[in-house]
Amino acid sequence: MTPAADLRTAAVLAALMSLLTACGGEAPPSADYIHWCQREFRIAEAMVRDAQSAIDEERPWISVEEYRLKFGEPPADGVFYMMSETGAPVALQAKTPEHLVELEASTQRVSLQLWTMEKKLRPDVGRSLDFSSDALEDHDREAQYRTRLIESGKTAEDLLPKLEECFEKLPAVNGGCDDACR
C-alpha cells in the first residue's frame, strides 16, 4: 500500500474504532485484513470476467429457433454447417453446450453475490489510477495468484465463503451504529 492509502486506511479505522466503541462492539479488522478482503474481491471479479468472456466466445452464433426460421429443421445432433467467407463449411452449435450452461449459472450466482458485497469490499477507486511501483507489484501478484487459482481448478465461486466472511466482519461504508454493530 502507498503511504497515502495507509493514512486513509488509518483514518477510516480510527473512525470505525470510535463508532464500534460507542456501540460496545469489537475492534474493527486490521488494515491488512481489509486489504486482503479487497484483493480477494478484485480477484473474484476478474475471474467472473474471464468466465463470462469464455462463455461469450463459445456461445452459439445462432439459436435453434433462429435456425428454424431461416433454414428449416436443424440436424438432430444440434450441429449444422454454414459456409464461411472462404466457402469452407463451418460447424456451428445450435444448442448451448452443457458445460457452458453450468458455467453461466455459476457466474451469474457469483456476480449477484459480488454485487451485494460491493459496497463494503470494493477497493478504493483511486487505487486503479495508482501507477506506483507498489501498486504495479500488487497487480502482478494478484494476476499470478489468480492464474494459480485457475490452474488448480478453482473458480470465483470457490472464493465466495472467504468473501462472505469478510463481508460479515467489515462494517458498512456508509453505515452508522446499526451497520457497525451487526
Residues 133-141 have a mean pLDDT of 71
Helical ranges in 24-155 per DSSP H: 31-58, 64-71, 98-121, 133-151
CA distances from 154 to 47, 84, 158 (A): 10, 36, 6
pLDDT at residue 79 in the model: 59
**In this structure, which amino acid lies at residue 172?**
A
Write the CB contacts of 67 (distance below 8 Å, at least 6 apart in sequence): 74, 80, 94
CA distances from 44 to 92, 131, 133 (A): 31, 22, 23
pLDDT digits (tens, 9 = 90+) for 74-116: 666 655 555 455 555 555 555 566 777 788 888 888 888 888 8
CA distances from 173 to 14, 16, 123, 180 (A): 14, 10, 11, 9
Of the chain, the percentage scoring pLDDT greater than 90 comes to 0
pLDDT digits (tens, 9 = 90+) for 35-79: 888 888 888 888 888 888 887 777 666 666 777 787 777 666 655
pLDDT digits (tens, 9 = 90+) for 142-167: 888 888 888 888 888 888 888 888 88
